[in-house]
Chains A and B, each alone.
Chain A
Amino acid sequence: MGSFSELIKNFDKTRDYVRDFFIYGFKVRSEFNRKSSRTYDDEKRRAESWLDGFFRYVNTPRGKQAAITLDSGRIYENPLYKAYYSKSFTDNDIKLHFMITDILADFPEGLCVREVTEKLLDRYGEFFDEQTVRNKLKEYAAEGIYISIRKGKKDLFALSPDTPAGLFEKFPGLINAVKFFSESSEFGVVGNSILRAAGIKNDIFLNKHSYIVHTLEDEILLALTENISRKRFIRITNFGKSGSCEFRGIPLKIYVSCRTGRRYLIMYLPDRKRFCSFRLDYIKTVSDMGECPEFDETARDLAKNEDKAFGVSFGGSRDWGGRVKIVFRADEEREKHIIDRLYREKRSGRVERTGENLFTYTGEFFDTNEMMSWLKSFTGRIVSVSGLGDYAEKRLRSDIVRMKKMYSDCFPEKEG
């Protein structure tokens, strides 16, 4: 294990392994067939370190099974944020980080590159060439840690006056806000880094439907939101079930399922003349391909079509679309909670009372298949369905027949 390192250069491999440990709790070593056993061992060791206490091992006839198991609704801090704190660095990086900051603390008016370089040698006996020091100063100025001041022909660098502690002192209520938002699905890790810098931990807020594994997609998410905001054409590399593929298109929106935590890029593909969705956990790279003059027009087209997407599908090569009509039964006096469910979960469909204890749901969607699992969550209350298409309707009925058979031991009196 001589070359094992806790630190990593990028997320690609790690993302896949952690997701597999997290989601497929039943795989054994030999089933992680992407790379060598050594890679598996290293990735597992890293994940174990980040998720200390959440790993569980079961010996099975197939081998030892490693899984991450936790109730994410009962944890105050996403343990996978630790993955973001594992970026590798050089000895010079860490030296310059602490030493330059220490020097600049004595010069609030700022120092130029040469002065910083000289002081590194004077104070700490560390010789660096000016270019290395300049790069670090510029990098830290871009990160907001230093500020750059133009004085005559010189660029001076000084420490930024803004600190997490200073901000929290000025806005005490912000501590709880950052605690709360640090566990939110949109870049919560950044909030966590603020708390960490201030030595504070979230000890108040829990997230009931929280899917912590998706934080590993945040780098990809950031690249996508930046490109969308800047109205760019992009190219993505997508690793789906059928292997790796490249797609070029206009990125428009991020669709989020609050039920599963999955996030999708919605992109217009000019080659196919259609909107398509891509799971963020399958996207490996995002490349900026230049300005997109058609962005606004395409975004308007998407806006016109959004209500017809029940989930993330804009239809496919087969015609799954249609105008659906579903009648549900719910006792108006005793089952108001069911009626409430229909109204709050209807998305862009319509719900109307169409008879005593009867409620009719109508809507037009590109892909009615996406409705099936929602529909089945109302098992026992669906009076009739139409517009789902022959295939889906037949399948729904045959599913109910199968379920009745599956649970037949629970109602023997009905069987005779």
Chain B
Amino acid sequence: MNIFTEINSAYYKAAEAVLSLQTEQGEPVTEKKITELIAKHAFKDSTLFIPEKLIPKGDKPSDWRLLKADCGGFVSVLRHKPRQFLTAIQKSWLRAKLSDPKMGLFLDDEQISELSDFLKDIQPLYDDKLFRRFDIFSDGDNYADPRYRKIFGLLLTALENHQYIIVRYLSGKGGDATASIVPIAVEYSAKNDKFRIHAVKQNGSGIVMNVGRIVSAELTEETAQSLPTADEYFSRRRCDTPAVVEIKPERNGLERFMLEFASYEKESALDPETGLCRARIWYDKNDETELLIMLLSFGPVIEIISPKHLRQQAAQRALRQYELFFPEGDTGK
């Protein structure tokens, strides 16, 4: 089976969009419209390449011969609107995902069994047992729990309909709290093996909660009149100033840093004289402790330069560790 095949080509997709539109509207499409569709469905520079292959010039047919000139525009040579298919690899992928307990968050048992029946002759694309996620946290969510599945489903409904949902949840400190929220996004962490909900409360403030901590949920009839977009919501959570760190040229630190922090938005600059790399990292204010832990795991290879409070937290931990290792004072090493 192939993942990388021309059947999925963005160029095919662009051609298909042009042919579909023409078939649907029944009238010739203009060159301008064709260019718009190419820009939408293919790559940034595709308007430089696809038109000359797709659009006939004068009496000369184009290389792809899918359009012909007609009344100042172009019409499809096909009789039907192009159709989409569910390919073998797509079915095989779905068959593999059916074994994932998270599938139960989207389909009920009866639907899962129906879908399994539909895919019964298909080999799964892979067997999940071949994967060992060696550093996954062991307290992941219980996706098989019927209560969890029900709450997850209600949260998705609330998100899709911008509906308020009243949730009772266990707060981080072990207390019990209730909030009326509209979910903005569902976030999964493969490391934590947990889902979190990003939501807005009725007073407009943002809230993040682990789905596993929600004890009960009840949909209301009320819908939110105005909600921040996901971009607006997340920009409020973003740190005011980025963390600045310095990576020393030792123990392959630079490559390790770049890989481990690949998921962060960052900027880096290397000083070729010293080999030091200075990086600015943008992060979610609420996840600052996680960032600190990641940075500390590099030991002295990474120095936190700013913000001051983050540097101080690292310093306090280093000092506390020093006192644990050397209760009698400096060893001079």
A235 to chain B minimum Cβ distance, whole angstroms, is 19
Query: Which of A67, A206, A209 has the most B CB atoms < 10 Å from its CB?
Result: A206
One of B162-170, B212-220, B307-315 contacting the partner: B307-315
Residue of A nearest to B294 (CB): A377
Q: Which interface class (under 10, 10 to 19, 20 to 34, 35 or more) fits B? A: 35 or more
B132 touches A82 (CB 8 A): no
- Let me know if B135 and A204 touch, CB within 8 A: no
How many pairs of residues, A versus B, come closer than 8 Å at their CB atoms? 402
Instruction: Output the residue of A162, A170, A374 with the most chain B CB within 10 A.
Output: A162
Produce 1/0 per residue, B285-311, CB < 8 A to A: 000000001101111100100000001
B331 CB within 8 Å of chain A: yes
Contact, CB under 8 Å: B10 / A380 = no
Query: Which of B43, B102, B134, B270 touches A50 (beta carbons < 8 Å)?
Result: B43
Cβ-defined contact, A377 with B296, below 8 A: yes
In the bound complex, do residue A6 and residue B97 qualify as a contact, i.e. CB atoms below 8 Å apart?
A: no
Binding stretch for chain B, among A148-156, A174-182, A268-276, A286-294: A174-182
Chain A residues lying within 8 Å of B277, measured Cβ to Cβ, are 26
Given contacts A23-B258, A25-B268, A255-B132, A82 and B43 within 8 Å (CB-CB): yes
Is B268 a contact of A26 with CB atoms below 8 Å? Answer: yes
Contacts A144-B87, A377-B297, A403-B299; is A85 near B137 (CB within 8 Å)? Answer: no
Q: Are B190 and A397 in contact (CB under 8 A)?
A: no
- Residues of B within 8 Å of A205, CB to CB, are 185-188
**B107 contacts A173, C-beta separation under 8 Å:** yes
Q: Is the CB of B6 within 8 A of A87?
A: yes
Most buried by A among B7, B96, B138, B186: B7
The reply on A229 being an interface residue by CB < 8 A is: yes
B71 within 8 A of A: no
| Least distance between A320 CB and chain B CB atoms (Å) | 15
Q: Which of B26-34, B58-66, B199-207 contacts A (4 or more CB under 8 A)?
A: B58-66
Docked CA distance A345–B333 (Å): 31
Please name all residues of chain A whose beta carbon is closer than 8 Å to the beta carbon of B16 when the two chains form the complex: 98
B175 within 8 A of A: no
A317 within 8 A of B: no
Q: Which residue of A lies closest to B281 (CB)?
A: A71
Contacts of A207 in B (CB 8 A): 187-190
A204 touches B87 (CB 8 A): no
Establish whether residues A410 and B311, one from each chain, have CB atoms under 8 Å apart when the complex forms: yes
A93 close to B (CB within 8 Å): yes
In Å, the complex CA distance between A211 and B261 comes to 9
Instruction: Tell me, in angstroms, the Cα distance from A208 to B138 when the chains sit together.
Output: 17
Can you spell out 15 A-B residue pairs with CB atoms less than 8 angstroms apart? Answer: A6-B49, A24-B255, A26-B268, A48-B44, A73-B284, A88-B6, A97-B12, A143-B2, A143-B87, A162-B85, A174-B94, A266-B132, A329-B324, A407-B303, A407-B318
Closest 10 CB pairs of A and B: A144-B88, A407-B315, A380-B317, A410-B315, A177-B106, A89-B6, A403-B318, A71-B265, A402-B300, A380-B320
